[in-house]
Amino acid sequence: MSDQPSAPVPGLPDRPVVTAGIVVFDGVTLLDVIGPHTAFALAGMNVQLVAETLTPISTDTSIRLPPDVTIERCPQDLDIVCVPGGSVGDAMLDIKLRDFLRARAATARYVTSVCSGALILAAAGLLDGYRAATHWASRDLLAALGVEVSTKRVCMDRNRITGGGITAGIDFGLAVVGEVLGREVAEFVQLGMEYNPKPPFNTGSPETAGADLTALFTTVTKPIFQPMADATAQVLARRVAR
């Protein structure tokens, strides 16, 4: 944490500046990034998008995301490391990224993920012995990596804070703000984001969506999840080989 004093939210008690590094990689799900980013930024955190190079990152949408800083130049003293999800197969096998995550996780106050970003943390060994949440469709892969899977929307286990799929990044972002900067700041941010959800349908989880829709989703998205399953198998094979 920086020594620089500042009030992240004017009108609320002074707090130290908190620095959050959100790791981005080709194939990242944009809303996994923007949900937490918005909550963190409204709370006055210094938020950096960290990537291997400064080349704009391809996302699940047509929007490319310009990183703020490379992993070489990323601040050493991140308070929060945050790994969003998406098509994470390549990122799970990326040695440079995994080394970076392990190095920052050793000193960070919180090691966190949203959605299938938990698979990247798990591939780096950073969820060994922890409970963690992930996108519902990634739960089997997270379990295969030896992690105790939580079905909670936000799972806190010591300094690991992990969120469920995509939109869970908003609940996650508010929960992290509450944990790091206090409930008062988080409540202010929630009011600003008008997070008073009223989903127009009731299919936000496999339990409420039912077996047929869940099976359809799993079939349709197999091309997205297969590379993540393959990466999981490779991670496990290397562990056995060690």
Binding residue for its own copies, selected from 16, 75, 125, 214, defined by CB under 8 A: 214
- 115 catalytic? Reply is yes
Among the listed residues 74, 82, 115, 155, the single catalytic one is 115
Q: Of the two residues 3 and 194, which places its CB atom closer to its own copies in the complex?
A: 194
Binding residue for its own copies, selected from 75, 146, 182, 204, defined by CB under 8 A: 204
Please list, residue by residue across 75-109, b when 16 or more beta carbons sit within 10 angstroms of its beta carbon and e when fewer do: eeebbbbbbbbbbbbebbbbeebbebbeebbeebe
Q: Rule CB under 8 A: is residue 69 a binding residue for its own copies?
A: no
Size of the site for its own copies (CB under 8 A): 67
Residues 6 or more apart whose Cβ sits within 8 Å of residue 121:
83, 101, 111, 113, 127, 132, 160, 162
Binding track, positions 111-150, relative to its own copies; x by CB under 8 A: ----x-------------------xx--------------
CB of 135 to its own copies, least distance (A): 6
Binding residue for its own copies, selected from 17, 143, 144, 209, defined by CB under 8 A: 209
Q: Rule CB under 8 A: is residue 18 a binding residue for its own copies?
A: no
Binding residue for its own copies, selected from 75, 125, 206, 227, defined by CB under 8 A: 206
Binding track, positions 148-177, relative to its own copies; x by CB under 8 A: -----xx---------xxxxx-xx--xx--
CB of 219 to its own copies, least distance (A): 6
Decide: residue 14, CB within 10 A, 0-12 exposed, 13-18 middle, 19+ buried.
Answer: exposed
Q: What angle do CA 28, 60, 64 make, to 5 degrees?
A: 80
Distance from C-alpha of 99 to C-alpha of 190, rounded to nearest angstrom = 34
- Give the residue numbers annotated as catalytic, written as ranges: 115
- The residue ranges that bind its own copies (CB under 8 A) are 9-12, 29-31, 34-35, 37-38, 41, 47, 49, 56, 60-66, 68, 115, 135-136, 153-154, 164-168, 170-171, 174-175, 178, 183, 186-188, 190-201, 203-206, 208-209, 213-214, 216-217, 219-221
